[in-house]
Structure 1
Amino acid sequence: MLHGWTVVIPVKPTALGKSRLVGSGDRAALARAIALDTIEAARRVCPVVVVTADAEVAAAARELGASVVGEGEPAGLNAAIARGVDAARSGHRAAMLGDLPALRSTDLAAALRDAASLDRAVVPDAEGTGSTLVTARAGMAWASAFGADSLARHIALGCTALDAAASLRRDVDTVEQLAAAATLGLGPRTSTLQPTSHNDTVAITLEELSDTRRKRG
């Protein structure tokens, strides 16, 4: 475990997430699997606070050892993160997206070690325009600006961009991004998910994900 850090992970209700991946029933199951794989990988590194209005995600996150803060009526990503940061322990704080199904614990730990010497840091997403992780060193006021093209906003807030590993940069919103994550090795829930969608492209992609699963650090 990495001492001195708390990671906040916001998770929107899974019925609302990942609309560009599969049909409504499969979408909720896939979004839940991705979120829980992300939470589990982070929990191996340090304490985790999950902010969600989804009762199933909340219960499963507690089973994984995470603390849970109820979001109530969803008020947006940055508002949810602020609630989690308020509940976090003193020390260094990080906020991380909950859709990193290929995340390796060792990659997150390495990024947090690098961030510990910086007032604020950000990990760019795989496209280089968004952000997947934002940090603030102990004693620094919290600020985050997640959303479309957030990298520039985080840098404007004083964040230093970190050269992080691919598993920490590959968030997933589309079938193509899910396939890209599969090449890195998916978490157990995402890789074993059996879709019921009639979308052949999605079904083939998810079968490939299971075939390319590999053990993560």
Structure 2
Amino acid sequence: MIVIPLKPAGAGKSRLGTSEKTVRQLGIATVRAAVATPGVREVVVVTADPTTAADLTGMPRVRVVSEPAPRGLRLAIASALATIPPGVRRAVLLGDVPRLVPADLARALAQATRHPRAFVADAAGTGTTLVTAAPGVRWRSAFGRASASRHRALGLHQIPVPLRSSLRHDVDTPAQLAKALTRRG
């Protein structure tokens, strides 16, 4: 199962300098790619954005966990993970990978099965786009600034995903947004 936390679109708007609609579309594109990934049974989206929740409700193999208000990434992830049985392989994919190709995610998830806990670094090598945990293994993650080094320090195995992989290309800056929108069009 994959958990995708999506911030309210208004929060992403200020950081990226774009409309709420565009920010929402980036998150929904990530969800659609995850759902289309071979072997993914269900995607659990956690969000405090009622419009995003409404847009995703009814999408096949997507379950929405609504938060009454944003509580931060760590608590959002924890609330979604609490809805997943402990005997299931879990992954958290951040919701800002709009150019994600399902085959890229499938390859990384397959590699992750060889390790109790694993992660994928972003293209810069400092952030993280994906964290996984084997069935029955206690969840550990440290998303945020310099998360790649913190995930290594927690003992997570870094999956050697090629730089060209769409899984490594998240959208954190206006320049990355422009690149993602250009490729999307």
Deviations 1:129-178 (A, max 9, x none): 01010000111001111001111111111111112252101110222112
In structure 1, distance between residues paired with 2:160 and 2:105: 12
2:21 — aligned with what?
29
Q: TM-score, normalised by structure 1?
A: 0.77
Give unpaired runs (5+ residues) of structure 1. Answer: 1-5, 187-209, 211-217
1:95/1:175 Cα in 2 relative to 1: closer, same or farther (>3 Å)?
same
Residue 52 of structure 1 is matched in structure 2 by 47
Report the CA distance between 1:75 and its aligned residue: 1.5
SS at match of 2:119: strand
Aligned to 2:124: 127
Larger Rg: 1 or 2? Answer: 1
Give me the CA root mean square deviation.
1.5
CA distance in 2, matches of 1:62, 1:163: 34
By how many angstroms is 1:31 displaced? 0.8
Compared with structure 1, are the counterparts of its residues 180 and 44 closer, same or farther at alpha carbon in structure 2 (3 Å cutoff)?
same
Q: Is the 8 A contact 1:41 1:105 kept in 2?
A: yes
Q: What is aligned with 1:115?
A: 112
**1:49 partner amino acid:** V
Could you tell me which amino acid in structure 1 is paired with residue 68 of structure 2? G
Residue 22 of structure 1 and its aligned partner are, at CA, apart by 2.6
Opposite residue 169 of structure 1, the aligned amino acid is R
Tell me which residue corresponds to 2:169. 170
What is the aligned partner in structure 2 of residue 154 from structure 1? 151
Corresponding residue pairs, total: 178
Percent sequence identity is 46
Larger mean Cα displacement after TM superposition, 7-16 or 64-73: 64-73
TM-score (norm 2): 0.90
In structure 1, what is the Cα distance between the partners aligned to 2:66 and 2:159? Answer: 30
Counterpart for residue 143 of structure 1: 140
List aligned pairs for 1:1-217, cutoff 5 A: 6-23=1-18, 26=19, 28-45=20-37, 46=40, 47-65=42-60, 66-89=62-85, 90-165=87-162, 166-181=165-180, 185-186=183-184, 210=185
Classify the secondary structure of the residue corresponding to 2:145.
Answer: coil
Deviation at 1:182, TM superposition (A): 5.2
Structure 2: gaps spanning 5 or more residues: none
Q: Is the 8 A contact 1:43 1:64 kept in 2?
A: no
SS in 2 for 1:63: coil
Tell me the equivalent position of 1:207: none
Superimposed CA distance per residue, residues 166-216 of structure 1 (whole angstroms, 9 cap, x where no aligned partner): 210111022211244357x43xxxxxxxxxxxxxxxxxxxxxxx2xxxxxx
Q: CA deviation at 1:61?
A: 1.7
